[in-house]
Amino acid sequence: MRDKNAMTKRQEEVLGFIEDFVKERSFAPILQEICDHFGFKSPNAASDHLKALAKKGYVAWSPNSPRSIQLLVRRAGRPGRTDMVTVPLLGRIAAGHPIFALENVEDHLELPRQLFRGRKLFALKVQGDSMTGAGIFEGDLAILAAQPDFENGQIAAVVVDEEATLKRLYRTSRGLRLKAENPAFPDRVVSSEAARSCRLAGILVGTIRRF
């Protein structure tokens, strides 16, 4: 019986190219780079191979994000860095007064998978000092996992009235409480009615500090 996860020769070549590309450049290729390497006349050809590799569990890939390919399997004998995950840096988020959430991809980070757990990871640059008590400082990169809900007390990025902020979240009888980790910043309570329009961007899973 044929292994349902077995690859065709071309799929093997595409996966090998992705592995080598990530190893050399620390980020994944885009569709056009795969097309250029193999001489595909249409991005659809590369897309079809990526869909097959994703279905077989070798990669994760979002067609709506230019450089979203993630290697999921470490293959024996291959030099690919499948212990790493490629995370998009989407812009900035306030740890202080809310600021507009910039959702354009500014960069890609190659991070150790064992240190940053979660699916659909993304990074935001922190501005402000309202979360210093939690060890989060201005200039840090907040690594978040996109998910639809949170548990009381978790630190998360939340978007209120199209403005984003990083706070510790609590559900209360009055609504959603956004708690700072700095006594200079008062808590913010979003009424139950207004909280319905809030959007949870992601739960904090770690931070990176650049020196």
Q: Which amino acid is at 63?
A: P
Q: Which amino acid is at 26?
A: S
Residue 158 has phi, psi (to 5 degrees) of -130, 140
Token duo for residue 138: 């201005």
Instruction: Point out the catalytic residue in the list 167, 179, 192, 197.
Output: 167
125 catalytically annotated:
no
Instruction: Point out the catalytic residue in the list 26, 130, 191, 192.
Output: 130
120 catalytically annotated:
no
Q: Which residues touch 176 (CB under 8 Å, ≥6 apart)?
A: 158, 169, 170, 189, 190, 192, 195, 198
105: exposed, middle or buried (Cβ count in 10 Å: 0-12, 13-18, 19+): middle
Q: How far apart are CA 44 and CA 38, in angstroms?
A: 13
Q: Which residues touch 9 (CB under 8 Å, ≥6 apart)?
A: none
Angle, CA 121 vertex, CA 115 and CA 124 arms, to 5°: 100
* Cα dihedral sign, 99-104-109-110: positive
Positions annotated as catalytic residues are 130, 167
